Structure 1
């Protein structure tokens, strides 16, 4: 019905006794409309006036009105019909009406839609068009003013003194006519249909004609379509059109899906320079450098070998040849015809062999606190330092290294708070190979002074404070699904707790609320998703640090509600009993605690209100604490964890500012050095290391951004 009303002339209503007021104010020929309405002048009956408020209700609920000529109706649900003849008394009676005649109603959105729908009808019917776009044998009628509103190209053309300003037609070259047709539809309707078959042509035309909104929409659409079979072509296209966001995302996708990409035909169309950039990236996600070497050789030998072999030496320079197994280096690489025929390539192989021989006399430690595995790229200096560490641990066992090895795993910095005081739900992850931090999926709840631990390939966040209240809630991050899921809550609301993982169970230890510090401990069994109490500590400890050493849990320092503590105790899960051990040299609450090479370290923390830069190490054989070199900055509320034979102290508060700096402790040199800082200044964050493979975390993170 409303569609019919929108098309009718005023004469239609002279034959109708009853009609429905449309959802938008409509004024018909022969009628004058009061405030807030539009006016059309035309033929038809005169002297009758319709005045109404705008009604945005659904069609079936719109009020109905009788039509009158010079009189009022006894049946009138709204004061909407009045007679505005020359009679003064009638006008006077109108002045006495008790409704607000100055009501303002915003119908701009609907008005714009209707107006542009009408303009689009004009375009499709060639009505009042003042421009013709020509693409070869095809032409499109349109309106200059509409194109000027949506296209920077046409706006600049028609606003200048160019000859096209007055010309009835404009000729376009090298654009897809279907893409231009879609852009015209967008100019008039604000909508465009993109698919994998037309998006490149549309982006090409939109970039040239400067339809900025369409360009961004095309870029967003292409990001969602990234796949090993199209990422290289998409990257080329993004580079050609200056879409750096799409180009960078494609590069990240290629690095994270390298093995899948090299199995696609598109890989062999890549340029030598682009291939060099990819394999030279320290974030390249591979299990072994063999995969990198094989990809290079497949690319070189695939097509036009005489031309491509000229690029072999520069490409081989990007391959971390010392990370190849010695047997593979001599039996596969060295004897390859292309490499054997190139002197520069032979030099690279000889250098790799020499390096492997130089470290072959170092020794191997089977340190139970470190998980070692074969990985891809690592700087030679870092490898050398790690091998030094191995050699220092077991000086009598000599092993020839067939593979260079590096620690598997990552660091997680979870939650905490910054200068605003608001807790964070963000998580930062440290890439040891590239010395960079990146974010992963956020927790469902903001948490400061949260307990964090990694167990069985998952990351747990326990309790804390969300800025409004203490928490008993808990959640777990699964890197395979890239999701946080809630688990059973603890029995006690607590912040400033610490969490340890031992024998497939989690232990939530100590903590505090607004009134007291806790000595209680809860044990979580993941197999039944439940918490149960175990033996309490001997001392209440809020802001406690914990670590696992030789199948026991150590609770270090904290605050008992009145002062910071130097006391420490050890829990035996078999006996379900806590015993006191030697106290630290310094009182510490909110210290970072971790185990490295069978020794327990405590760094930073607060001595009551004073942040500390000192650090000390506990030897369980002698039951003694010894100072080590202090950190470069005082760090209260610091997070500490071990990775790659180093301790990492992350963030904290120095007494004045929240910190984002990170220091790494080398136990061989007994020294701290700055490494890449976290992206956000934070203290009271949960800190842990994990053996979750970095490639899984990074792959899921990249996929989540597409």
Structure 2
């Protein structure tokens, strides 16, 4: 090896045997390797010599092992027996060899094949071509005619790209520019030079723009570059409104357009944008595209379009009127609006099995986790939000007051937080978060200070229900009028309920479980706002307080909480049609003081206490698959937090970073 004696001065030895020794080797010892003069402990031993990336193994089938690395200056006793075998490995040999190959290529020496590309003739080495390109390897090592020819014609690749790729085979370098990258990607894909193809894809991904992403996607599909295709699709979804304004948009195929608008990932503010995009694309070439309208309209989530838009715009559109399938989809959407607000609930599968009824990730809302407490007992002011589309948690502005066991709800695109405990006192204050300003503002306080209450909305007013202080569990119900910023009393519940869970379903408020001051409850009651009266309904199968309740697809789901002695992982579902509770798939772990909400047709359970520690984990329940799956952890362990989905654009929210101190989970 070149400069062998020089490199030997940085010699490093590893000895393996029953014992380890050190030696002060002189360079003269190396001269004795071939004549038996090299020091060796005994025949059954192995010596590995590393010389700046070069390894020599001297082996006599040693059954015993002992390893040590020796440096210059260490000593080892003289050995008597001669070496029986030696394996030498040079880790830089391949680099040196390729340097020689590159030099041979530059001098056009020992070339044994010529590539004919257009008017260019590229002399190179078959071995290098076969090593670097599976395409050439198959060509030159088979019985193909080209394997025997001195000049091999290359088709479908331009001269500049072929020269660049041959140069890459010898130098490991290739220049990518906006002018040559598409041709290089086409050529490297054909020749199966994957490293260059990936570099081209990465380069094109970095240059994606609303004006070119559709074309890049088509190019990637043509050449089988799935990673680039996915990147272009993701970019298109992320910048959907801008892409609609591009010159490329009207020219895409119907199937490509359908794939885009069928995705839950397109970033929009309203489903009306998707409807308008469909009409724009169809009208661009109406005679040829009108037949595509039914399929494209089926990808528009018409049930989530505002009812006024459905009645005033969609129903009056002539193209919709002429299409039987489109009229059916319009009727489905109108019936959904009636079903959700007026009549009998839909079964879960009739809704969830159809994507049309599920919001896209950008319009599904944002999950807020408000306040709560950790192991220190000190309540939190911090707020964590979950961005479903990007699977990330982030912090928005903190509450004005610390609050644990707080009641929260979302109304009118805002988040309300009422009552709770600040670590010293019970609270009757309520504050409102405005996403546009990223601020919490105090409004009129409740009449009663309390924690463990629940808050919901029925019609226009908000209702603060139940709760407790240090002495009493409450049956009280207060009603808040948003317009006048004032509180009044509504009919109290039949039973006092601290740690109660409440939800609105079919124009009624349901209050489930809680604690009456002496025992945990499984009883439930329902409020009729027209009669201003509470009525008892069927009791749950399990007594629970500090659980979560939500409405989904016409059912009530009650999740987790505590019984008299321990946290629960059980989940029950109430069907108001049969007036019965049914146990369904339990959570993966017990969660007392859990917060729950619905987003995009799935149930999210966040935090809580498992009996030994506070939790930062969460899980998600899909009513179609009937399975719980873990989700990304929040940053702070917390129980007694309020969890709610706010239907506001996530891009409105300002990430303020984590400002509160993180507490231990145990």
User: What TM-score does the superposition give when structure 2 sets the normalisation length?
Assistant: 0.55
Preserved CA contact (<8 Å) 1:592 1:637: no
d(CA) in 2 for partners of 1:432 and 1:662?
17
Quick one: distance in 2 between partners of 1:138 and 1:149?
22
Q: Does 1:585 align with 2:540?
A: no
1: CA distance between counterparts of 2:290 and 2:273? 19
**SS, match of residue 265 in structure 1:** coil
Query: Paired residue for 2:123?
Result: 141
- Report the counterpart of residue 613 of structure 1 in structure 2: 570
Partner residue of 1:22? Answer: none
Answer yes or no: is 1:637 the counterpart of 2:604. no
- Number of the residue aligned with 2:351: none
Deviation at 1:165, TM superposition (A): 2.2
Aligned to 1:454: 369
Deviation of the 1:208 alpha carbon: 0.8
Is residue 433 from structure 1 mapped to residue 358 from structure 2 by the alignment?
yes
Contact 1:152 1:211 in 2 (8 A): yes
**Distance change (3 Å), C-alpha of 1:606 and 1:148:** farther
User: In the alignment, does 2:148 pair up with 1:159?
Assistant: no
Question: Quick one: structure 1 residues 263 and 462, their matched pair in 2 at CA, closer, same or farther if it must change by over 3 Å?
Answer: farther
User: Structure 2 vs 1, CA of residues 474 and 150 (structure 1 numbering), >3 Å: closer, same or farther?
Assistant: farther
Q: Is the 8 A contact 1:498 1:509 kept in 2?
A: no
Taking the aligned partners of 1:249 and 1:278, their CA distance within structure 2 comes to: 13
Q: Report the alpha carbon displacement of residue 570 of structure 1 after superposing the two structures with TM.
A: 6.9
1:181 is matched with which residue? 163
Distance 1:634 1:237 in 2: 47
Report the CA distance between 1:661 and its aligned residue.
6.9
Once the two structures are superposed, residues 287-341 of structure 1 have per-residue CA deviations (whole angstroms, 9 ceiling, x without a partner) of 3343233323333343x5543445445544544556666776677667767x38x
Match in the other structure for 1:258: 240
Q: Distance in 2 between matches of 1:243 and 1:486?
A: 37
Q: Report SS of the residue matched to 2:100.
A: helix
Judge conservation of contact 2:561–2:568 (CA < 8 Å) in 1. Answer: yes
Tell me the equivalent position of 2:341.
387
Distance (whole Å) between structure 2 residues aligned to residue 209 and residue 137 of structure 1: 20
Deviation at 1:216, TM superposition (A): 2.9
Specify which of 636, 640, 662 is matched with residue 621 of structure 2. Answer: 662
1:678 aligns with 2:629: yes
Determine the C-alpha separation between the residues in 2 that align with 1:149 and 1:129: 15
Q: Verify the 8 A CA contact 1:51 1:82 in the aligned structure 2.
A: no
- Residues 263-274 of structure 1: pairs in structure 2 closer than 5 A: 263-274=245-256
Give the Cα separation in 1 of the matches to 2:600 and 2:118. 68
**Deviation digits for residues 558-592 of structure 1 (CA, Å, limit 9, x no counterpart):** xxxxxxxxx97479xxxxxxx97574326878964
Give the conservation status (yes or no) of the 8 Å contact 2:372–2:405: no
1:691 aligned residue: 646
CA deviation string 1:144-185 (max 9, x = no partner): 212212211111122222232232222111113222223223
Q: CA deviation at 1:245?
A: 3.4
Going from structure 1 to structure 2, the CA distance change for 1:545 and 1:473 (only over 3 Å counts) comes to closer
**Residues 157 and 165 of structure 1 are in contact (CA less than 8 Å); yes or no, is this contact kept in structure 2?**
yes
- Structure 1 vs Structure 2 CA RMSD: 6.2
Q: How does 1:547-558 map to 2 (within 5 A)?
A: 550=463, 554=467
CA distance in 1, matches of 2:203, 2:379: 40
Q: Is the 8 A contact 2:549 2:556 kept in 1?
A: yes
Which has the larger displacement, 152-161 or 275-284?
275-284
Give the C-alpha shift of residue 481 in structure 1: 10
Deviation at 1:508, TM superposition (A): 8.4
Corresponding residue for residue 307 of structure 1: 288
Q: C-alpha separation between the residues in 1 aligned to 2:159 and 2:622?
A: 59
Which shifted more, 159-168 or 674-683? 674-683
Distance in 2 of aligned mates of 1:349 and 1:93: 94
Which residue is 2:185 aligned to? Answer: 203
Report the TM-score when normalising by structure 1: 0.52
Distance change in 2, residues 1:644/1:634 (3 Å): closer
Partner of 1:103, secondary structure, is strand
- The partner residue of 1:275 within 244, 257, 269 is 257
Once the 2 structures are TM-superposed, how far is the Cα of residue 660 of structure 1 from its aligned partner?
6.6
1:305-344 to 2 correspondences below 5 Å: 305-312=286-293, 314-320=295-301, 339=319, 344=322
Distance 1:289 1:149 in 2: 53
Q: Distance in 1 between matches of 2:499 and 2:311?
A: 52
Distance 1:316 1:211 in 2: 42
Alignment check: 8 A CA contact 1:660 1:682 kept = no
Contact 2:240–2:268, Cα closer than 8 Å, also in 1 = yes
1:361-372 alignment to 2 at 5 Å? none
Contact 1:51 1:80 in 2 (8 A): no
Is 1:296 matched with 2:278? yes
Point out where structure 2 has 5 or more consecutive residues left out of the alignment.
Answer: 13-23, 41-45, 55-89, 347-354, 399-403, 409-414, 441-448, 457-462, 470-495, 501-514, 523-541, 612-616, 656-666
Residue matched to 1:419: none
How far apart, CA to CA, are the structure 2 residues paired with 1:649 and 1:385? Answer: 24
Alignment CA distance shift 1:78-1:472 (3 Å): farther
Q: Partner residue of 2:267?
A: 285
Contact 1:183 1:206 in 2 (8 A): yes
* Distance in 1 (alpha carbons) for counterparts of 2:224 and 2:598: 39
Deviation of 1:233 (Å) = 1.0
Deviation sequence 1:24-47 (CA, Å, 0-9, x none): x634xxxxxxxxx4xxxxxxxxxx
> What is the rounded CA distance, in whole Å, between the counterparts of 1:177 and 1:355 in structure 2?
58
Shift of 1:675: 5.2
Q: Distance in 1 between matches of 2:171 and 2:358?
A: 50
Listed as ranges, the gaps of 5+ residues in structure 1 are 1-24, 28-36, 38-49, 58-76, 360-379, 393-429, 442-451, 490-496, 511-517, 530-537, 539-543, 557-566, 572-578, 618-626, 665-672, 701-706
What is the count of residue pairs matched by the alignment? 484
Q: Which moved more, 1:135-144 or 1:628-637?
A: 628-637
Structure 1 residues 309-318 or 168-177, which shifts more?
Answer: 309-318
